[in-house]
Amino acid sequence: MKAMKKLPEADLKLKYYKVLEASMAIALLLMIGIFYSFKTFESKVELPERPNIVIETIEIPQTQQIQKPPPPAKPSIPVEAEDDELLDDVTIEDTEVTLEPTDNLPPPPPPEDEEIYEFFAVSEKPEIIHKEKPVYPELARKAGIEGIVVVTVTIGKDGKVEDAKIFKSIPMLDEAALAAARKCIFKPAKQRDKFVRVKMNIPFRFKLK
């Protein structure tokens, strides 16, 4: 029986190295192609500048503890003596008591002002009985200035104006509005059947004819 011989074309061992080299070359070419096929990523985000932080040191003075004054001494309680002879030896000296004149004493504190209510807080609102017409300032008239000045008035228990302040101002017309507001007379406000002081706003219109 004759031994079988392999043809060189059919021997895989001979082609092994050639196939391996060809495979390595193809894989390398694929890797290079994939690498160059992707674009490079460029970020346009700008990082913020690093702030310049300055740390300052502050010297804090040492706190001083306030010492509390010692408590007052307890009053001594007299104790009855067992021997009557000891009582004869005790003598009480005469003491003179001088009273300072009351003329130099400070005056008593003034009485606290009664509460001033807001217009919306009273049960019975004040009613205007007489509204004084303001005198148009000649300078404002010549300048052609007109408008509405609002005055905040404090109305007393008797219905008279105790205080007046400008709430809405027109500089050349304020004084005339204040003078008219002080001459207004009201029916006083009530809170629980009691006359009270109250604040309210009064408008004064200045209009040229």
Structure tokens given for 9? 């074309």
Grade residue 69 by pLDDT with cuts at 50, 70 and 90.
confident
* H-only helix segments in the chain: 12-37, 84-89, 138-143, 174-182
Tokens of 37: 């096929």
Residue 75 pLDDT greater than 90, yes or no: no
pTM to 2 decimals? 0.47
Helices (H), 90-205: 138-143, 174-182
Contacts of 69 (CB under 8 A, 6+ apart): none
Which pLDDT value is given to residue 8?
59
What are the beta bridge partners of residue 205?
Answer: 148
**Token pair for residue 106?**
């400070």
Q: State the average pLDDT over residues 185-202.
A: 93
pLDDT in tens, 135-169: 999 999 999 999 999 999 999 999 999 999 999 99
* Encoded tokens for 14: 């001979």
Q: How would you class 110 by CB atoms within 10 Å of its CB: exposed for 0-12, middle for 13-18, buried for 19 or more? A: exposed
Average pLDDT, the chain: 79
- pLDDT-based confidence at 62, cuts 50/70/90? confident
Q: Are strands 161-168 and 195-206 parallel, antiparallel or unpaired?
A: unpaired
Nearest to 163 by CA among 113, 206, 109: 113
Count Cβ atoms below 10 Å from residue 197 Cβ, excluding itself: 21
Strands 185-187 and 161-168: unpaired
Q: What would the pLDDT profile of 125-136 be if each residue is shown by its tens digit?
A: 999 999 999 999
